[in-house]
Amino acid sequence: MIFTPTILAGSYVIEPEQRHDERGWFMRTFCQDEFEKSGLNGVWVQLNHSFTTRKGTVRGMHFQQQPDVETKLVRCIQGRIWDVIVDLREQSSTYLQWFGVELNTENRLMIYVPEGFAHGFQALTDNVELIYHHSSPYSPENERGVKYNDPSLNIEWPLPIEMISIRDNSFPLINDKFKSTF
């Protein structure tokens, strides 16, 4: 696996290395030793799978607060997405900056989202499927989010927003009610 740091401290785009032969290909999408040698969390306690039907749909920007902060590893296994992370760690040199990358079935890239980051994505095609690894179990009482179109973040979504959940649309703006808990 190739671990490439993003512009946001502690986050990485990960490229699995494929091995090809006459049968097709094989790749490792996770190796605890390789993650730990790269200084990354290599312990996953929950694995989620999502399906998004409609191109232009945005899901996010989600995170969990203390005591259930989580690291995520995200991979698109069908279709294409624009994956976005936002650094919410107040002490970070990249606080409130965002990074986006296309994840799709062709490039097979993954994104490593450290604790203290919000995460979301926009479906660039219909019928998108994602696999998420989580370092903490889902905690509804500690789940939070920030507004996907917060002007202070100025996230550049590549397509017009076609659909967003009522819950995701109700998240606060950074300058309104947001308080970092990392």
State the Cα–Cα distance between residues 134 and 38, nearest whole angstrom: 18
Which is the catalytic residue, given 49, 112, 119, 132?
132
Length of the chain: 182
Q: Does the annotation mark 132 as catalytic?
A: yes
Integer distance in angstroms from the first to the last C-alpha of the chain?
A: 29
Give the whole-angstrom CA distance, residue 99 versus residue 48: 22
The average pLDDT across 77-85 equals 98
CA angle 8, 118, 163 (to 5 degrees): 125
Integer Cα distance of 28 and 6 in angstroms: 21
Tell me if residue 119 is catalytic.
no
pLDDT tens readout for residues 91-149:
999 999 999 999 999 999 999 999 999 999 999 999 999 999 999 999 999 999 999 99
Q: Under CATH, which architecture does the 2-169 domain have?
A: Sandwich (2.60)
Task: State the catalytic residue, choosing from 12, 20, 62, 133.
Answer: 62
Q: Indicate the average pLDDT of the chain.
A: 94
Mean per-residue pLDDT for 66-76? 95
